[in-house]
Structure 1
Amino acid sequence: MTDSLSGLPNRRALHVDVARYAQADDEIALALVDLDGFKSVNDHYGHYTGDKLIKECAAILSDLCAKDARAYRLGGDEFAILVMGPIAGNILEGICRRLLQRLAKPIALQDRQVTIGASIGLSRSTPAARTSSADLLRQSDVAMYASKTGGKMRCTWFNDEFDRKLEQSQKVERALRRAVAGNELQVLYQPLVDATTSEIVAVEALLRWAQDGVAVDPSAFIAVAEETGLINAIGSWVLRQACTDALAWDGLKLSVNVSPAQLRNADFPIQLGHILEETGFPPDRLELEITETYLVGDPVIVCRSLEMIRSFGVGVALDDFGTGYASIGFLRKFRFEKLKIDRSLIVEAADDEGSRAMMVSSIAVARAMNMFVTAEGVETAAQAALARTAGCDHLQGWLYYKAVTADEITRQLAKNAIRITGDHRHGHVAHA
């Protein structure tokens, strides 16, 4: 029951050991270790180097475990560590923290140095509440995923709250699948206005879902869609629906949010090309909005994807600027067509001098790089005046328009056209 590549005991050996330890009157603690960055090593240097890395990690684990624990290779880039004893949990956590410290340093593989990391999940079984090997592994896997989503290079203990959240997530997933099949999702549109004239110059497509007549918070169901892979089908539907609706709004720009999970899909640019061809929507009127978190994941892949998207003539905007990681360096590297200043910065700028300085400097940098700038979440005349004075081109928020249906956009544009035509006859242009 040994893994042929690493020489460590395999998954079957782990189950046998847990079953044997369960007969003793002691605590059992299990860690599931998932290597971060292993796929990248395989992709860049080939499987031979990947195999060498697995062997090296196995040696590191064996050294750290010594006589206190036993290490296993479960397959791929997953390992496990098992400890039994009165303070098994403490010993296991100590080993895992030393492992993270070790993996933070480069690993020598022949003529190159590679750096990887790990996300670790821990669980325990006590004499008072024995857990099967399968469930112990499942709990460690859930905790490992929490480590990965929490930023990687950390170890997390399983707790019952994880299962409650998982159950809720599965409930949302089932309902969301029914919603997709039953055409319950809807695309609404929030206009963006010219900062000077207040005329509608663009619309942003926003996905909405009303479950049994009650609106579901997008932050809740979008996260589930990303985790389950549903986001690819939903995102393509939103893009196709928005392009179809906006085709009639001559001259208006259309902004569509694209999830990082969509952009990580190598087929996304191909899907985008098909949608543009099917709908006949002019690429130069389409703008895809991406968030800062996507930029820091893998800049090389980001650049490649953005190049393909721009090759169609589609613009790219950086959404929610001011909330996370993006810096002037990112703006210079990726050269977005538009920068969208996050609502929180707009709101805080009215009362906080530091936030105001950050907003003004961000806008100045974007303008120097020939980017358009939109202020999001504008709700008061004072916020609008501040954003306008700072140099924003477009304003978006409830002060002007809420998100409405495609039919309402069409009606609003018709009303504006009639009003502007009437005003021109009288020799002036009115502001909304």
Structure 2
Amino acid sequence: MTGRNPVVKVAKWLAAFTALVIAFGPPLGFLYFGYRLESTAIETRTDLLSLQLTQLINANPDYWQFETIRLDELLKNGDLGGADGSDRHRVFGATSDLVTETRGSNFSDGWPTVTHRKALFDYGAPVGTIEITESLKALYLKAASIGVLSLIVGTLVFLGLRILPVRSLQRAWDRIAFLASHDAMTRLPNRVLFMDRLTTAIAGASRRGQALTVHSLDLDHFKDINDTLGHAAGDTLLRQFVARVSGCLRQGDTLARLSGDEFAIIQTGTNDAEAAVNLAKRAIAAVEQPFDINGQEAIIGISIGMAMTGTDGDSDPQQLLKQADLALYKSKDNGRNTYHFFEEEMDAELQSRKALEVDLRKALHAEDFRLFYQPQIDLASQRIVGLEALLRWHHPVRGDVPPKEFIRVAEGTGLIIPLSEWVLRTACREALPWAPLSVAVNLSPLQFQQRGLVAMVERALAETGLPASRLELEITEEILLNDTEHTLDVLNRLRALGVRIAMDDFGIGYSSLGYLRRFPFDKIKIDRSFVADLNNSSDAQAIVRAIIGLSQALNIHINAEGVETLEQANQLMADGCQEVQGFLYGAPMSNTAIGDLVTSLGILSGADDPALKAAS
């Protein structure tokens, strides 16, 4: 009697064991590490929200549990980590009673979850608990997808291990490993592989006594490409972008795609900042050239933040990438398509910005903003003919916050939309008794990306009773840079309501003359930078005269901003300017002061008192 060949038996068991490892190892490993990452992220987000809630509790310790609207707003907007809507937030009182609960649109009770709690204190005394629960549905579904693929691969391995060449098996395994560590679309290293390479690069640079630089890259206006040309065009652009930036790198440098339109570079051997700057300049120059997307031209830019290690290898990879990200934020704030190195004060600036954002949300909810109004003067009659509404915010601790500072934060967080609606509604209501004076309100470029701008203006006019002919909306040339056809359609619909449209800061943009040809503006406002140099610069005089001449030829009303001296006013009048505003005629005033002024001047009753003497 012959026995079974032991080699065949061992081979079968090895094939079965290998198949089981391949089938269940990747999904189980994915679940394990994914759970660890989710748990860590939940703990960090809970700690952050507990600090924000503690600030709210300290400000109103006795009744904070009844401020469910503010609590819900803070939970929804303060947690940047739950952007996919798969989380649930709960706030409990001191007796474990539920105060409020918010759920993301993708949160599911029927799936495993990970939960973290953090106690809330009122100056040391426990008053409640914040709880964040993250649904692991997405994690398990991804694990299941990996499991299906692994099971198929395992089965194939079991059936073909003794038939397929070892080289073929090796290629299949290499493919799986590649997909786990690379971005499938661009074939670049993903975040996991990038951090692994960064750790290795830091250690290697330390042994050689060298430094390295991490570049954090973000595509400017990439969302506009996706919105206008489609996601397929966006993918094509990303592949072309990768090819261009890769051509700027040396052998040994690493380009990785971290997410969406966020990329990063590990540049080795940068013992001085010049090498890092040169790479940043090459990348910006390469990307600023137009892209050909299926016959259509697309133009984008990149903002770059850079952080360098020392030569002693003491840099933490996570900290180094965070520093590069902070420098990236600085580049985006400074106009985009540029680069900045990390500086220590950037971290403090980021914390200050986050604190300002929290205060801004509170101020908007409590309507702590005020409108001031600056008179607009007809030069021929020296009378007030209109008012420009200007937003002001007096913070109880910070004092008067400059508009440029909080407007930038409002635009970055989307708060500019409700804030602008409040400004428009308030300006219309307060200006109603000041007939026949018009009131000018500035519009943000972000409002034109929303589909409800025209309806918002209609609503403000209807609710306040202000005639549309007394409302003037001011826009800048930046509004017309993207999706011009949509913007022109909105402007025409606004004008059809009866409101007037003015182009603000004329002359400092990109294609002013082209815009005047495509849309008949009611008013042009000469930028204050030209007015400031009017009596000192022949170039400024020539530009101002050209703008005035152009407006006269096109029959467009002209206004000059920033008039501070009588010489400037006389020169503008001599050149044919019709309307001015500035400190010569009056600084921005509160609504009460403006009401008293127009009443004292007899404007409402039609008296002939000149505005110049009283307002200057």
TM-score range, shorter chain: 0.7 to 0.9
Q: SS at 2:371's partner residue?
A: strand
CA offsets 1:151-186 (integer angstroms, 9 cap, x no match) = 444333222243343334334333333333343211
Counterparts in 2 of 1:212-291, with a 5 A limit? 212=396, 214-291=399-476
1:355 matched to 2:540:
yes
In 2, the alpha carbon distance for the partners of 1:110 and 1:256 equals 41
Residue 185 of structure 2: aligned partner: 5
Residue 529 of structure 2: aligned partner: 344
In 2, the alpha carbon distance for the partners of 1:260 and 1:115 equals 19
How many corresponding residue pairs? 426
Change in CA separation of 1:293 and 1:202 when aligned onto 2, cut-off 3 Å: same
Residue 174 of structure 1: aligned partner: 358
* Amino-acid identity (%): 35
Q: How far did 1:82 drift?
A: 1.6
Q: SS at 2:302's partner residue?
A: strand
Q: SS at 1:143's partner residue?
A: helix
Residue 426 of structure 1: aligned partner: none
In 2, the alpha carbon distance for the partners of 1:355 and 1:260 equals 27
Change in CA separation of 1:344 and 1:115 when aligned onto 2, cut-off 3 Å: closer
Q: What is the letter of the counterpart of residue 242 of structure 2?
A: A
- Could you tell me whether the CA contact under 8 Å between 2:504 and 2:527 is conserved in 1? yes
Q: How far did 1:198 drift?
A: 2.1
| Structure 1 stretches lacking a partner, 5+ long | 424-428
Counterparts in 2 of 1:8-407, with a 5 A limit? 8-24=188-204, 25=206, 26-65=210-249, 67-85=251-269, 87=271, 93-108=277-292, 114-128=298-312, 130-212=314-396, 214-296=399-481, 299-325=484-510, 327-407=512-592
CA offsets 1:365-418 (integer angstroms, 9 cap, x no match) = 112211111222333333322222222222322333332222333333333338
Change in CA separation of 1:391 and 1:42 when aligned onto 2, cut-off 3 Å: same
Give the RMSD, CA atoms, in angstroms: 3.0
- Could you tell me whether the CA contact under 8 Å between 1:8 and 1:73 is conserved in 2? yes
Q: What is the letter of the counterpart of residue 27 of structure 1?
A: A
Change in CA separation of 1:83 and 1:431 when aligned onto 2, cut-off 3 Å: closer
- Could you tell me whether the CA contact under 8 Å between 2:454 and 2:494 is conserved in 1? yes
- Per mean C-alpha deviation after superposition, the further-off stretch among 384-393 and 102-111 is 102-111
- Could you tell me whether the CA contact under 8 Å between 2:270 and 2:276 is conserved in 1? no
| Structure 2 stretches lacking a partner, 5+ long | 1-180, 612-616
Q: How far did 1:190 drift?
A: 1.8
In 1, the alpha carbon distance for the partners of 2:424 and 2:296 equals 43
In 1, the alpha carbon distance for the partners of 2:246 and 2:609 equals 76
Q: SS at 2:389's partner residue?
A: strand
In 2, the alpha carbon distance for the partners of 1:194 and 1:109 equals 50
- Per mean C-alpha deviation after superposition, the further-off stretch among 67-76 and 87-96 is 87-96
In 1, the alpha carbon distance for the partners of 2:290 and 2:588 equals 50
Q: SS at 2:589's partner residue?
A: coil
Q: What is the letter of the counterpart of residue 366 of structure 1?
A: S
Q: What TM-score comes out, normalization by structure 1 length?
A: 0.86
Change in CA separation of 1:139 and 1:391 when aligned onto 2, cut-off 3 Å: same
Q: SS at 2:601's partner residue?
A: helix
CA offsets 1:326-376 (integer angstroms, 9 cap, x no match) = 643333333321112233333422343332232222112112211111222
Q: SS at 2:595's partner residue?
A: helix
Q: How far did 1:199 drift?
A: 2.3
In 1, the alpha carbon distance for the partners of 2:298 and 2:416 equals 33
- Could you tell me whether the CA contact under 8 Å between 1:420 and 1:430 is conserved in 2? no
Q: SS at 2:217's partner residue?
A: strand
- Could you tell me whether the CA contact under 8 Å between 1:28 and 1:88 is conserved in 2? no
Q: How far did 1:200 drift?
A: 2.1
CA offsets 1:294-323 (integer angstroms, 9 cap, x no match) = 444554453233233223222111223344
- Could you tell me whether the CA contact under 8 Å between 1:203 and 1:255 is conserved in 2? yes
1:431 matched to 2:616:
no
- Could you tell me whether the CA contact under 8 Å between 2:302 and 2:338 is conserved in 1? yes
Change in CA separation of 1:212 and 1:372 when aligned onto 2, cut-off 3 Å: same
Change in CA separation of 1:55 and 1:194 when aligned onto 2, cut-off 3 Å: closer
Q: SS at 2:214's partner residue?
A: strand
Q: SS at 1:247's partner residue?
A: helix
Change in CA separation of 1:125 and 1:231 when aligned onto 2, cut-off 3 Å: same
Change in CA separation of 1:316 and 1:81 when aligned onto 2, cut-off 3 Å: same
- Could you tell me whether the CA contact under 8 Å between 1:303 and 1:334 is conserved in 2? yes
In 2, the alpha carbon distance for the partners of 1:154 and 1:405 equals 39
Q: How far did 1:242 drift?
A: 0.6
- Could you tell me whether the CA contact under 8 Å between 1:6 and 1:55 is conserved in 2? yes
Change in CA separation of 1:156 and 1:310 when aligned onto 2, cut-off 3 Å: same
- Per mean C-alpha deviation after superposition, the further-off stretch among 130-139 and 79-88 is 79-88
In 2, the alpha carbon distance for the partners of 1:85 and 1:358 equals 49
Change in CA separation of 1:9 and 1:206 when aligned onto 2, cut-off 3 Å: same
Q: SS at 1:67's partner residue?
A: coil
Higher relative contact order (CA 8 A, sep 6+): 1
Q: What TM-score comes out, normalization by structure 2 length?
A: 0.62
Q: What is the letter of the counterpart of residue 187 of structure 1?
A: L
Q: What is the letter of the counterpart of residue 21 of structure 1?
A: A
In 2, the alpha carbon distance for the partners of 1:343 and 1:108 equals 39
Change in CA separation of 1:86 and 1:199 when aligned onto 2, cut-off 3 Å: closer
Q: What is the letter of the counterpart of residue 327 of structure 2?
A: A
Change in CA separation of 1:409 and 1:325 when aligned onto 2, cut-off 3 Å: same
In 1, the alpha carbon distance for the partners of 2:357 and 2:573 equals 42
In 2, the alpha carbon distance for the partners of 1:418 and 1:376 equals 22
CA offsets 1:210-258 (integer angstroms, 9 cap, x no match) = 2349433222222232223222222111111111111222222110122
- Per mean C-alpha deviation after superposition, the further-off stretch among 286-295 and 213-222 is 213-222
In 2, the alpha carbon distance for the partners of 1:274 and 1:317 equals 20
In 2, the alpha carbon distance for the partners of 1:86 and 1:350 equals 49
- Per mean C-alpha deviation after superposition, the further-off stretch among 52-61 and 5-14 is 52-61
- Could you tell me whether the CA contact under 8 Å between 1:83 and 1:89 is conserved in 2? no
Residue 614 of structure 2: aligned partner: none
- Per mean C-alpha deviation after superposition, the further-off stretch among 109-118 and 217-226 is 109-118
Q: How far did 1:284 drift?
A: 1.8
In 2, the alpha carbon distance for the partners of 1:402 and 1:154 equals 36
CA offsets 1:112-153 (integer angstroms, 9 cap, x no match) = 564443222222223547333333222222323333444444
